[in-house]
């Protein structure tokens, strides 16, 4: 059974996006991407070192993945838009993970600037996937200005705290006119499964894999978690009850 | 000599164009996945050989890096 995810007219078979930062080695990064089954992987855009220029990470990825450049670390609309334009030029892609950070300590998005930057970038032809607060109103505003998906945070970037507000994520998923990709906070495979069960269309994972004791095994676990969660979502969970409901037949009990 | 800002650092350079600047800094202008902006505007690769550098220009030279 195929269950493609459609974002901006592009059909994806994998529902896990994987970040490329912080792995123990480049070979481990490549192995983890392979094990995760990801089709979309994120990269940042940074100034080159003028002391010693080395070939790009992109050469290493070898054209096997769809690269999603981010604007990580940008704190103003101006810097985010310029970084986006540089990313488009460097990678020849219109796709962009838009990050506009309002607070260095928590890396919470600056919602007001985020919506403005998203609107400007959509007008410039970008396919914008914004990292945003887990707030249905913000997500709606981002969809309204033409974002191709929304990427609400589960909890703080790199925190591994999982999905701090599952009810909000579920609400966003139930209302969003565009795909919802849970971004940030995933700590282990059950967090990824929960995101999918709540109705997310995909998840983005980086630190939970890269900083795991065994990244390769965790990459496989995340893949399985996402697939399990997606299947469970499609199947539909049973309602929760306050009391027991026997699963074995109640007739023909021995001794009655 | 022209005083410009390259990736946030003020420098005197003895080059005329963006492409010459790359060569002078040991960066192969044919290297893939590079992008350059001058004064906040992206300069397309095809324009690197002809784009002059003026005193006070703010040059950003970037490439993809690992990221989440």
Round to whole Å and give the CA distance between A223 and A215: 12
With respect to residue A20, please indicate whether it lies within any of the assigned structural domains.
Answer: yes
Cα separation, A106 vs A170, whole angstroms: 23
- Domains for chain B: give ranges and CATH numbers: 2-62 (3.10.20.30)
Based on the structure, what is the number of domains in chain A? 1
Which residue in A has a C-alpha nearest to residue B21's C-alpha? Answer: A50
Identify the contact set of chain B against chain A, taking CB-CB distances under 8 A.
Answer: 6-8, 25-28, 31-37, 40, 42, 44-45, 60-68
- The answer to the question of residue A167 being in a domain is yes
Please indicate, yes or no, whether the overall pTM of this predicted structure exceeds 0.80: yes
Tell me if A243 is assigned to some domain: no
Q: Which domain holds residue A98?
A: 14-235
Residue A221 banded pLDDT, cuts 50, 70, 90: very high
Interchain contact, A59 vs B28, CB within 8 Å: no
Please say if the pLDDT value at position A111 is more than 90.
yes
CATH number at residue A180: 3.20.20.70
The helix/strand/coil state of A141 is: helix
Question: Where does the pLDDT of residue B24 fall: very low under 50, low under 70, confident under 90, or very high at 90 and above?
Answer: confident
Q: Indicate which of A45, A54, A63, A65 best probes the interface with B, i.e. most B CBs within 10 Å of its own CB.
A: A45
> Measured between CB atoms, which of B28, B44, B67 is closest to A72?
B67
Rounded distance between C-alpha atoms, residue B64 and residue B66, angstroms: 7
Contact B66 A70 (CB under 8 A): no
Structural domain contains residue A256:
no
Residue of B28, B42, B66 lying closest to A43 (CB–CB):
B66
Model confidence band, residue A156 (pLDDT cutoffs 50, 70, 90)? very high
Q: What percent of chain A has pLDDT over 90?
A: 88
A250 has a pLDDT exceeding 90? no
Categorize the per-residue pLDDT at A52 as very low, low, confident or very high, splitting at 50, 70 and 90: low
B-chain CB neighbours of A204 within 8 Å are 68
What is the reported pLDDT for B30?
A: 87
Q: How confident is the model at residue A55 (pLDDT cuts 50, 70, 90)?
A: low
Among the residue ranges A63-72, A198-207, B23-32, the one predicted with the least confidence is B23-32
Query: Residue A137: inside a domain, yes or no?
Result: yes
A40-47 and B58-66 beta bridge pairing: antiparallel
Please, which residues have CB within 8 angstroms of residue A239's CB and are 6 or more apart in sequence? none
- A149 assigned to some structural domain: yes
Question: Residue A1 and residue A206: Cα distance in Å, rounded?
Answer: 27
Residues of A labelled as active-site residues:
97
- Distance (Å, whole) CA A15 – CA A12: 7
Q: Which residues of A touch B65 (CB under 8 A)?
A: 43-46, 57
As for the ipTM of the complex, it is: 0.93
Tens of pLDDT along A160-204? 999 999 999 999 999 999 999 999 999 999 999 999 999 999 999
Contacting residues for A22 by C-beta, under 8 A, at least 6 apart: A206, A207, A210, A211, B66, B68
Domain-located, residue A6? no
Length of chain B: 68
Angle at A158 between CA A157 and CA A160, to 5 degrees: 105
> Can you tell me the distance from the alpha carbon of A151 to that of A127, in angstroms, rounded to the nearest whole number?
13
Q: Is there a domain that residue A3 lies in?
A: no
């Amino acid at each position: 059974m195929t269950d493609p995810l459609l974002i901006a007219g592009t059909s994806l078979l994998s529902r896990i996006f994987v970040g490329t930062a912080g792995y123990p080695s480049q070979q481990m990064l490549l192995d983890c991407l392979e094990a995760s089954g990801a089709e979309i992987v994120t990269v940042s855009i940074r100034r080159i070192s003028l002391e010693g220029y080395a070939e790009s990470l992109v050469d290493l990825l070898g054209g096997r993945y769809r690269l999603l450049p981010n604007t990580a670390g940008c704190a103003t609309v101006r810097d985010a838009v310029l970084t986006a334009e540089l990313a488009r030029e460097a990678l020849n892609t219109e796709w962009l993970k838009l990050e506009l950070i309002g607070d260095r300590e928590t890396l919470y998005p600056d919602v007001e600037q985020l919506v403005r930057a998203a609107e400007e970038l959509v007008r410039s032809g970008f396919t914008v996937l914004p990292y945003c607060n887990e707030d249905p109103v913000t997500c709606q505003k981002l969809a309204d200005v033409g974002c191709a998906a929304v990427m609400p945070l589960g909890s703080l970037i790199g925190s591994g705290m999982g999905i701090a507000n599952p009810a909000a994520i579920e609400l966003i998923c139930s209302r969003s006119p565009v795909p919802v990709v849970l971004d940030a906070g995933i700590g282990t495979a059950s967090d990824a499964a929960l995101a999918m069960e709540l109705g997310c269309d995909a998840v983005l994972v980086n630190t939970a894999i890269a900083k795991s004791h065994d990244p390769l095994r965790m990459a496989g676990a995340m893949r399985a978690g996402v697939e399990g969660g997606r299947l469970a979502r499609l199947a539909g969970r049973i309602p929760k009850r306050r009391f027991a409901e026997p699963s074995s037949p109640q007739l023909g009990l021995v001794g009655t | 000599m022209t005083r410009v800002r390259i990736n946030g650092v003020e420098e005197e350079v003895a080059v005329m164009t963006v492409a010459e600047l790359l060569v002078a800094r040991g960066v192969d202008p044919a290297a893939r996945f590079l992008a350059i902006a001058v004064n906040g505007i992206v300069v397309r690769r095809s324009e690197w050989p002809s784009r002059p550098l003026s005193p006070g220009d703010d040059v950003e030279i970037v490439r993809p890096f690992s990221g989440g």
